[in-house]
Structure 1
Amino acid sequence: MSGLVKAKKYDWKDSNLALFGSDTDKKVKKDSAETEPAWQGAGANPGLQIWRIVKFKVEHWDKDQYGSFYSGDSYILLNTYQEPDNEELLYDVHFWIGQHSTQDEYGTAAYKTVELDTLLDDKPVQHREVQGHESALFKTYFKSITLMKGGADTGFRHVEPEKYKPRLLQFSGKGKNISVKEVPFCQKSLDDTDVFILDAGLKYYQWNGSKSNHFERLKAAQYLQKMKETRPKAEPASIEAGEKSRDATEFMDTLPQENQEEEEDDEEDEEDGDFTPSLYRLSNASGKLEFQLECEVPELPLPASKLDSSDVFIADTGKECFVWVGKGADDEESKNGMTYAHNYLQKSSHPLVPVSIVKEGREPRGFKQVVRN
């Protein structure tokens, strides 16, 4: 495998993620999963658990960092829950791919996700999540999602305070839909309609745009409070746009007028608004694996009557993709479902949408909403 050099952006055509769950992937055995230290206690009780991939290894992510993700890393999330009046533990396992995560990292995340699924007796619903294209289910786990540049090792806890690289975070939106993301570290990034936090390590500033709303200010204040808990020695400051004060002067002096670094390409792939929901069948009934269009519909839902327990089906809504594994599907079909979904999406207008593997009889609510009679 290649070294852990940060890729400039996803290179999906060469991605070893296409091997996820396939026969060409390494065999994932339960005894191997049981020897993975990171999985000790995984799924034992209801709640959310997160791990980060570090040089091919799985490491626990600090709970006070839940909801914060670095674009240069890949993560695995396990949500364990119970249905009302039912003691059985149910699971959703997600692997999240940062925009600048390496192939080695997200390939390891995909492989380890299969391993965790095996450890939990194939009960989890598996999901692929890509930065900026997260599923609605994924977003429910957090009050807000903070996207930061670089890798987790560039964070305050992992470097000496005097060597910490300052960050500028933007809080934008209304109501519960407040996005938090790192923006270029310069005064040109400031927008009078939003709120910003300048994190300088041992001091951090909240800058309130004159046209920013209450929700943005509140979310930023909550973020500062969380920072205060993890960095009790750090000094906070709140500034209003146009304010003449010592803190305001320090804020502007710390923030250069122009961006001093090369800007990353953060353009998102455009989605085709005219996409027709489609259902595909993956079957080896002829003696070899064949992937064929089963049906298209002018609008959702896709017909559940087309599903056949003996095969695997890929349901593409244009916003999300499901790999449905029938109870009678053989190993070749079931293990190659994600591979075919990945290859299919790669050629589509929406290659980065969330992908979920669901098993017949254990279909989650999201699937039932888009595939039904």
Structure 2
Amino acid sequence: MSGLRKAKKYDWKDSNLAMFGSDTEKQVKKESAESEPAWKGSGQNVGLQIWRIEKFKVVHLPKEDYGNFYSGDSYIVLNTYKEKDSKELKHDLHFWIGKESTQDEYGTAAYKTVELDTFLNDAPVQHREVERHESTMFKGYFKSLTYLKGGIASGFRHVKPEEYKTRLLQFKGSKRQVQVTEMSPCRTKLNSNDVFILDTGRKVYQWNGNGCNKDEKLKAVQYIQQLKSDRHGKATSESVEQGDEDEDFWNHFTDVDDDDDDDDDATDDGTKRLYRVTDEGGSMKTILEKEGQIFNKSMLDVKDVFILDTSKEVFLWVGRRASNNEKKNGMGYAHKYLQTTTHPLIPVTVIKEGQTSQGTFNSHFSAAA
């Protein structure tokens, strides 16, 4: 498809993920959801719960690892909350796909997300998140987001310091959220606006760019303290200011950049588009209803499914009287639609008619019925 971008970096987006809805509709039963041990107690209390997919199994992520995401893995994230003056528990349910996650991993994450939704009596609002293209809602769950190379099996926690491969971590952001990204230890990666940690195993350098801020510095200091604790005193650290580097520091760098840097999606004109998805007439069709900036809720027909594309995020609204065929393929429709756009990696939210969400769906519609 000519509209696809980043095919080499996010091969999964060309896959059969769009088909998982129809498969899971047949396979996911309430009894199988209740037999999944990972779901025991899930969604019963306000707060965040995260699971990682490990060899087709759903495994609880330790709370100390919340906010750390490996590019080679897929995760399920459940946020349970109460609205003001309400005792009712509500849920936002996300599956997160790393850019190097395998088809088995993200397919299992998608399948299990539907299963957890079933376990919670179809109450959650479902979301798809892609590494480095996450929704504002998703990012808001964490004080910092850390993107690490590889999968959890290649983690550094239990590796001897002398066996470490040198890695470079960028600290970028503000008090609201500092983002940590692992990258190739190439000297051209350093920039004066951020803080970087050069981790050689035995020695850890904190490099402070001339234009970095105090929040980036503080987060880096905390990160190094945790590294040294994990290594039981077998690692030392040194702070380096931009311009004060010595030869030993530079010797750990290479001139080779092995990263596939993720460019932003193509610039859009800001026009929002509303599509109707219907199987009326016997075949599934996606029809453009309107382009503009604001829409009227009267356009949402309870008998159909609608896609709202803001170019920053996609919402799929499912009418309560939509056909079973339309209802069961919600995430698949959105995924397939995004393959035809210049922004295939943006966040996706599926909303069933009558659901409320902490998202921004309603802000795109006028109050008139």
Structure 1 and Structure 2 fold alike (TM over 0.5): yes
Q: Does 1:337 align with 2:330?
A: yes
* Alignment partner of 1:354 out of 326, 347, 368: 347
| Structure 1 residue 250, shift from structure 2 partner | 4.8
CA contact (8 A) 1:204 1:237 kept: yes
What amino acid maps onto 1:270 in structure 2? D
Report the CA distance shift for 1:159/1:33 in structure 2 as closer, same or farther (over 3 A). farther
Report the CA distance shift for 1:228/1:361 in structure 2 as closer, same or farther (over 3 A). farther
Aligned to 1:154: 154
What amino acid maps onto 1:238 in structure 2? S
Q: How does 1:1-373 map to 2 (within 5 A)?
A: 9-12=9-12, 14-23=14-23, 26-176=26-176, 178-228=178-228, 230-233=230-233, 234-243=235-244, 250-253=248-251, 255-259=252-256, 263-297=258-292, 299=293, 301-365=294-358, 366-373=360-367
Uncovered stretches (5+) of structure 1, i.e. residues with no partner? 1-6
- CA distance in 2 between counterparts of 1:337 and 1:35 reads 25
| Structure 1 residue 127, shift from structure 2 partner | 0.3
- CA distance in 1 between counterparts of 2:158 and 2:333 reads 39
What amino acid maps onto 1:284 in structure 2? D
Tell me the alpha carbon deviations over residues 292-335 of structure 1, each in whole angstroms, 9 at most, x when there is no partner. 122221x2x23211001121111111111011111112311111
What amino acid maps onto 2:353 in structure 1? E
| Structure 1 residue 355, shift from structure 2 partner | 0.4
Report the CA distance shift for 1:158/1:102 in structure 2 as closer, same or farther (over 3 A). farther
Q: CA RMSD in A?
A: 2.3
What amino acid maps onto 1:367 in structure 2? F
Tell me the alpha carbon deviations over residues 73-110 of structure 1, each in whole angstroms, 9 at most, x when there is no partner. 11111111111222211111111111111111111111
Tell me whether 120-129 or 310-319 shows the greater mean CA deviation. 310-319
**Number of paired residues?**
359
CA contact (8 A) 2:47 2:81 kept: yes
CA contact (8 A) 2:9 2:100 kept: yes
Aligned residue for 1:22, secondary structure, equals helix
What amino acid maps onto 1:125 in structure 2? V
Report the CA distance shift for 1:229/1:117 in structure 2 as closer, same or farther (over 3 A). farther
What amino acid maps onto 2:97 in structure 1? I
What amino acid maps onto 2:118 in structure 1? T
- CA distance in 2 between counterparts of 1:13 and 1:191 reads 31
What amino acid maps onto 2:237 in structure 1? P
| Structure 1 residue 58, shift from structure 2 partner | 1.3
CA contact (8 A) 2:51 2:76 kept: yes
| Structure 1 residue 226, shift from structure 2 partner | 4.0
Report the CA distance shift for 1:212/1:71 in structure 2 as closer, same or farther (over 3 A). same
Aligned residue for 1:21, secondary structure, equals helix
CA contact (8 A) 2:51 2:60 kept: yes
- CA distance in 2 between counterparts of 1:176 and 1:111 reads 33
| Structure 1 residue 20, shift from structure 2 partner | 2.7
CA contact (8 A) 1:282 1:337 kept: no
What amino acid maps onto 2:297 in structure 1? A
Report the CA distance shift for 1:161/1:36 in structure 2 as closer, same or farther (over 3 A). farther
Aligned residue for 1:118, secondary structure, equals helix
What amino acid maps onto 2:139 in structure 1? K
What amino acid maps onto 1:351 in structure 2? P
Give the structure-1-normalised TM-score: 0.88
- CA distance in 1 between counterparts of 2:232 and 2:42 reads 31
- CA distance in 1 between counterparts of 2:112 and 2:175 reads 36
Report the CA distance shift for 1:17/1:38 in structure 2 as closer, same or farther (over 3 A). same
CA contact (8 A) 2:178 2:216 kept: yes
CA contact (8 A) 2:169 2:183 kept: yes
Q: Report the identity percentage.
A: 57
Report the CA distance shift for 1:242/1:276 in structure 2 as closer, same or farther (over 3 A). closer
- CA distance in 1 between counterparts of 2:96 and 2:283 reads 32
CA contact (8 A) 2:171 2:194 kept: yes
Aligned residue for 2:43, secondary structure, equals coil
CA contact (8 A) 2:183 2:259 kept: no
* Runs of 4+ with >6 A deviation: none
| Structure 1 residue 202, shift from structure 2 partner | 4.8
